[in-house]
Every structure is written in structure tokens, then in C-alpha cells.
Amino acid sequence: MPSPRQVAPPLIALQDVRKRYGGQAQGDGQQPEVEVLHGIDLRIDAGEFVAIVGASGSGKSTLMHILGGLDTASEGSYHFDGHDVAAFSADQLAWLRREAFGFVFQGYHLIPTESARENVEVPAVYAGAPQGERASRATALLERLGLEGKIDLRPNQLSGGQQQRVSIARALMNGGRIILADEPTGALDSQSGAEVMALLHELADAGHTVILITHDREVAAQAHRLIELRDGRIVHDSGARNALAAARALPALDVAEAGRDRGASFGGNLREALRTALRGMRLNRSRTGLTLLGIVIGVASVIVMLAIGEGTKQRVVAQMGTLGTTIMYLGARGPASGGPPGPITPEDLAAIAELPAIGHVMPVIGDPITVRYGRADREVYVFAASQDMPAVHHWKLALGRYYSDAEDRDLAPLVVLGHNARAHFFPGRINPLGRQLLIGNSPFEVIGVMAERGSDSGAESYDDMVFIPYRAGRARVYQAQTQPDYTVVTAASVAQVRSAEAAMRTLLLARHGREDFAISNPAAKLQAEAETRSAMTMMLGLVAAVSLLVGGIGVMNVMLMTVRERTREIGIRMATGARHRDILRQFLTEAMLVTWVGGTLGVLAGLLVGAALIAWGVPVIFSVSAMAGAFMCAVATGLIFGYMPARTAARLDPVVALAGQ
């Protein structure tokens, strides 16, 4: 009965593998094509201990990169456990590197910012192993390799031999069925070199497939099979000792797993990316600080500018409310060219009232006059105006009624009292309606009392006044007066205050032939002021947004620098099984972290500056949406400007990255 191993495909089978470099436009122009491997046929079975020996430049490393799935052949076929590796996707190749192979390099290739244990854990991170399990396995491996007490040290605190043992532990982290060791003793003293070789022997005896690359024949002689490479060709092969190898080989991997592999869970991966991101930020404190500053200033200034803009707007709106938003004043005035002031005639006022943009037209005569009731007498401001007065001033009656236009035309002697005037002439609970007041020398009947208006912006308090019909006032009190003191004209709506003024001016110019009148329009002035301010706020907001953009470019700059500085780290992560998206996520997380922290600090700084401004008396109104908007802008900036460098990192070729600085 044949054993299953005899029918199983070889672990590694290369057929006429060629590797060419150059030939197409690359970076700095066209490079001549060179063939480095000239048709390699090679079969390695599970459990073998193979040494590939050859002079420097003979193509050993190139061959190893192809075997380990770090690089692909230009021509020929590579079957791993019967599966054509050429058909593997990038993620499946990452799976192969992570689950099947363990790399040991001449230069150790440890991540300099991570501790020994963290370096060993890297392949398990990308395999999605839980944190606790990872740490205990890494610790156990390091202790087994004689590194107890060195577990939390960083590579630069370890000797070369110790670093190489860390990298062997890393190669074993996910099982390391096939150890690919490229000149593992090349940089070591003979003592450390012997220790590393002893370790490889142990692994081979334990059933790992070990492929050892060396230019040292003595080292090579320790393997069970010797393959000699010269100028990209195999010139000697001592032959496999398959029976021996097969007997002790570790059970085979299920390569079909590669296709099903989902890798690390999103959460675990994110935690790991955050951890490395935080470490990176700590290690580059001043650079991180400056980048943060850019974002903080951007976010804070957007928030403060918008808050000031809103505060100013609200203050103007409040002022417009107290003044009456649509009120204009029309008076007679001598023209600039000289001459008497033009009288404003009742016909003028009737014509103005016809204009579509005009609401009310209310002529006013007012003066302090002696008013008597019984034995009480008092100087009171007597306000003679049309029946529009309550509507113009948005004022209600507390008692009785206001006079009508008909009563005004009939010169009816009626009076409405202000709140204080009533209290003065009719103290206590006396009902004033129907009583007669003597204004000047004429009796007027009280028909109403106005609601209390309270403190107002006017010089005289309206509450102290009494109100009489315009025509009755002219006929009975202000006989000397031929035209109103002034006329209150309202625009039909807040939006029309300026068009109403213009229409009125045009009409009066046409009627009078010269500008012998004056219009004052406080509402329009406030509106113009509000508009200037909101334009200013827009401008400042724009400047703030630009500074946010500059902050974003700062993030991109820093990320590009980070990617360049950490090219080798990226290569190491890829060689130990990171997929493109793991790398992308890691660098994107770093960019996002900067902008999240910067955005949060920026919101806090904005609130602080705003609070200081409030203390200073500047009108500031914070809006949650402005804060959320600025924060989201910062985060979006990080995402957009962080994406490019992160993608650059993820697209690096693992072999090129490993060779990088």
C-alpha cells in the first residue's frame, strides 16, 4: 500500500524559473534587462534541511525571495504543495509568507521601535491571534531561544546573536514550517554563528523544512543536502534524502486555507494600528507636535470665527428688534444748494402711502404741553399722530381702544394715555375711560390706556406720553403748525427697507424738484452693517479654512516622511505576512490619529479662546454644528491627505522595501 506522502505533490517544485530585472522604464529611466536566474529546476520536500551555496551575486537571495513568495518569477513555474503560485493573489501570497514560511535574514530585519517580544508577535498580529495568546507564545519562544530577561529590550539593546535569535523566534511564531534563512550567520561572530546553526539543526530535527542560504561551504556542509548555485544556475545538487525527511516532517498545511483567509479581525487590527501609531507619535514628539499645532490652529480658528460671526449677527438682530426693524423717519430740510426747507404736504404723504414698498405713513407732531385733570396738572409730551401708531410701534392697548382714522378726520377730541400718564392723573383704581383731560385749553376724552412699554431706546419714555389724533391735535393744540414735525414711514417688510427708502426719495424728488427733505433709515444702516460683518466673517472663515487645509498638507508631509523613514519596517511587515490593506490601514490610522487628536484639541482651544473673548465683551455664540463641522473637516483632511502616503506604503514591493533604508 503506497503511503500518502508518495502520492502527495512535492512541497516546493520549481521548473525552469527565470528572473529578470530591468527592461522596462523604472524610476530613473530605462534600465537594460538582466537575467539573474537562468532556468532553475528544483524540488524540495517537506522536512528537508537544504543548504544553497554560491558566491556573492550568484542569485541566492533572488531565489529565496521567489521561494518565500516575496517576489515572483519572470518565467517558469513555481508549485507550492501542488498549487501554482503564479495564480495566487497578493493576499494569498501574504498568507503564504505568514503561515508557511519564516524568514531569517542576514541583517535580522527587526523593527527598531518595537521590543523583542513585539517583533516576535508581528506575524501573529496579521494572523489575527488574540493579544494574550500572542504575548505568551512570543515570550515562550524567546525563552526557549535563551532570551529570558531580554524580552522587553529593543533591537539596538541586543547583540547581533541575540537579534538573530529574536528573528528566528519571529520565524517560528506562526509555526514556521519552512524556515528560509538567508546568510543567517553572515553578520555574526563564530560563537554566535555556531549557536544559530545549532538552532537550525534543532528545528530541522523537529520536522521543520529548513532552507539555508550561505556563501560559506563549512556552514553549508552541515545541511543534509547541498545545492550549489553559480551565476544563476544550479551546478550541483547532492540530492534529496526523502525517506528520512518525510518520516519526520511536520504535517502539511492546507493551502486552500489561503483563499478563505480573512486575516486579522478589524478590531484587533485597529488596536494594533493604534498602538503603533501612538508609539510613532511619541517617538517623533516635536514633529507630531508641530503637525498637531497646524490642525489645532485650523480647527480653533474656524470655530472662533464662526462663533464671532454668529454673535455679531445676533447682536445686530437684537438691535434691529428694539428699534423696530422697518422704521424710517422723513423730515423737511433746507437743500444743500440753499433755500427754504420744502414743506411735506398731506398730498406728499398720500402719494408715499401709495408706493408698494411702503407700509404705514404716520405724520407726528409732539411737544411738552401742560395737561390738567381736576387739581392735578403736569407737563406732558403730547404725541399727535395718525391711528397707525400702535401698528407702527408694535404696541398694544391695556384698556379701552385707540382712535380710528374716521375720528381723526372728524377732529374728534380723544386721548389715549401712556401707562405712567394714567398712573399720574388717575391714581388708585379710578377708571379713566370717559374722563376729560384738559390739554392746553381743550378738553379731550380718555378712550384708552396703552400697555406698559418699559425702558426703551427713545429719549422720552413713551409710557409718560399721551396720544391724540393728528388732525385734532393740529386743530386744537398745535394750531401754529402747518406740517408734521416728522413723519414715521415703515417699509412693507424687513427685506424692503432699502427699496422703500429709494422709492420714497425718487417720488419726493419728482414732486419737489429738489432735495428739500431728509430721510433717516436706521434699519438700513444696521442691515448694511450686518452685511459688512457677515462678509468679514466669511473672509475670516475662509482664511481659517485655508489654515485647516495647510494643516492637512502638514499631515501629508509628515506621513510621506514617515513612510520613507519606515520603508524597511514596511518590508519587514510584508515579509512576515502583512497584506496590502494591513499596511494601508496602519498608515491611515496614524494620519487619522493625528487629526483626531488635533481636531479635539482644536475644539477645546476654540472654546477657550471664545470664552476669553466673551470675558472681553466680544459677542460670541458657539454653534455645535460649526464645531462638529470643523472637527469633521479636520478628520476628512487627515483621511484625504493621509490616504496618499498610506497607499504609497501599501504598494511598496516587499523586496524593494526590505532593501530600503
Asked if 196 contacts 172 with a C-beta cutoff of 8 angstroms, the reply is no
Task: Of 98, 100, 477, 451, give the one whose Cα is nearest residue 254.
Answer: 100
Return the residue matching grid coordinates 528572473.
Answer: 19
62 is in the binding site of which of Mg ion, ligand ADP, none (Cβ under 5 to 8 A by kind)?
A: ligand ADP
- Cell numbers at residue 425, please? 392723573
In the complex with ligand ADP, the residue whose CB is nearer, 70 or 466, is 70
Asked if 310 contacts 484 with a C-beta cutoff of 8 angstroms, the reply is no
Contact call for residue 61 and Mg ion (CB under 5 A): yes
Question: Least distance from C-beta 653 to ligand ADP, angstroms?
Answer: 9
Question: Least distance from C-beta 106 to Mg ion, angstroms?
Answer: 7
DSSP class of residue 99 equals: I
CA angle 557, 560, 564 (to 5 degrees): 140
CA distance 278 to 293: 17
54 is in the binding site of which of Mg ion, ligand ADP, none (Cβ under 5 to 8 A by kind)?
A: ligand ADP
Asked if 630 contacts 301 with a C-beta cutoff of 8 angstroms, the reply is no
Residues 390-429 that bind Mg ion (CB under 5 A): none
Question: Least distance from C-beta 25 to Mg ion, angstroms?
Answer: 26
Contact call for residue 214 and Mg ion (CB under 5 A): no
Contact call for residue 487 and Mg ion (CB under 5 A): no
625 is in the binding site of which of Mg ion, ligand ADP, none (Cβ under 5 to 8 A by kind)?
A: none
Contact call for residue 62 and Mg ion (CB under 5 A): no
CA angle 356, 357, 359 (to 5 degrees): 95
Which residues have CB under 8 Å from 320's CB, separation 6+? Answer: 494, 523, 526, 527
Question: Least distance from C-beta 230 to ligand ADP, angstroms?
Answer: 10
Among 61-69, 193-201, 268-276, 600-608, the segment contacting Mg ion (CB under 5 A): 61-69
DSSP string, 156-178: GGS-HHHHHHHHHHHHHTT--SE
Question: Least distance from C-beta 64 to ligand ADP, angstroms?
Answer: 8
Among 55-63, 88-96, 415-423, 440-448, the segment contacting Mg ion (CB under 5 A): 55-63
645 is in the binding site of which of Mg ion, ligand ADP, none (Cβ under 5 to 8 A by kind)?
A: none
**Angle at which helices 497-512 and 522-565 cross, to 10°:** 140
252 is in the binding site of which of ligand ADP, Mg ion, none (Cβ under 5 to 8 A by kind)?
A: none
In the complex with ligand ADP, the residue whose CB is nearer, 67 or 508, is 67
- Which residues would be at the binding site for ligand ADP (CB under 6 A)? 21-22, 34, 36, 54, 56-62
Return the residue matching grid coordinates 527587526.
Answer: 110
Contact call for residue 185 and Mg ion (CB under 5 A): no
In the complex with ligand ADP, the residue whose CB is nearer, 105 or 517, is 105
Q: How far apart are the first and last CA of the chain?
A: 55
In the complex with Mg ion, the residue whose CB is nearer, 61 or 288, is 61
In the complex with Mg ion, the residue whose CB is nearer, 183 or 261, is 183
Question: Least distance from C-beta 62 to Mg ion, angstroms?
Answer: 8
In the complex with Mg ion, the residue whose CB is nearer, 187 or 550, is 187
Mapped onto helix, strand or coil, the DSSP state of residue 303 is: helix
Return the residue matching grid coordinates 475644539.
Answer: 603
CA distances from 3 to 6, 206, 243, 246, 345 (A): 6, 21, 11, 10, 123
317 is in the binding site of which of Mg ion, ligand ADP, none (Cβ under 5 to 8 A by kind)?
A: none
Question: Least distance from C-beta 69 to ligand ADP, angstroms?
Answer: 16
In the complex with ligand ADP, the residue whose CB is nearer, 59 or 642, is 59
At 231, give phi and psi (nearest 5°): 50, 45
In the complex with ligand ADP, the residue whose CB is nearer, 61 or 562, is 61
Pairing mode, strands 233-237 and 101-105: unpaired
In the complex with ligand ADP, the residue whose CB is nearer, 26 or 136, is 26
| Long-range pairs for 384-387: beta carbons < 8 A, 24 or more residues apart | 384/467, 384/468, 384/469, 384/470, 384/472, 384/473, 384/474, 384/477, 384/478, 385/467, 385/469, 385/470, 385/488, 386/361, 386/362, 386/469, 386/470, 387/469
Question: Least distance from C-beta 556 to Mg ion, angstroms?
Answer: 36
Question: Least distance from C-beta 215 to Mg ion, angstroms?
Answer: 8
In the complex with ligand ADP, the residue whose CB is nearer, 21 or 266, is 21
CA distance 296 to 302: 10
57 is in the binding site of which of Mg ion, ligand ADP, none (Cβ under 5 to 8 A by kind)?
A: ligand ADP
Contact call for residue 58 and Mg ion (CB under 5 A): no
Burial label for 241, CB within 10 Å (0-12, 13-18, 19+), is middle
Pairing mode, strands 397-400 and 442-450: antiparallel
Question: Least distance from C-beta 52 to Mg ion, angstroms?
Answer: 10
Question: Least distance from C-beta 33 to ligand ADP, angstroms?
Answer: 9
386 is in the binding site of which of ligand ADP, Mg ion, none (Cβ under 5 to 8 A by kind)?
A: none
In the complex with ligand ADP, the residue whose CB is nearer, 233 or 271, is 233
Question: Least distance from C-beta 600 to ligand ADP, angstroms?
Answer: 44
In the complex with ligand ADP, the residue whose CB is nearer, 183 or 408, is 183
Residues that bind Mg ion (CB under 5 A): 61
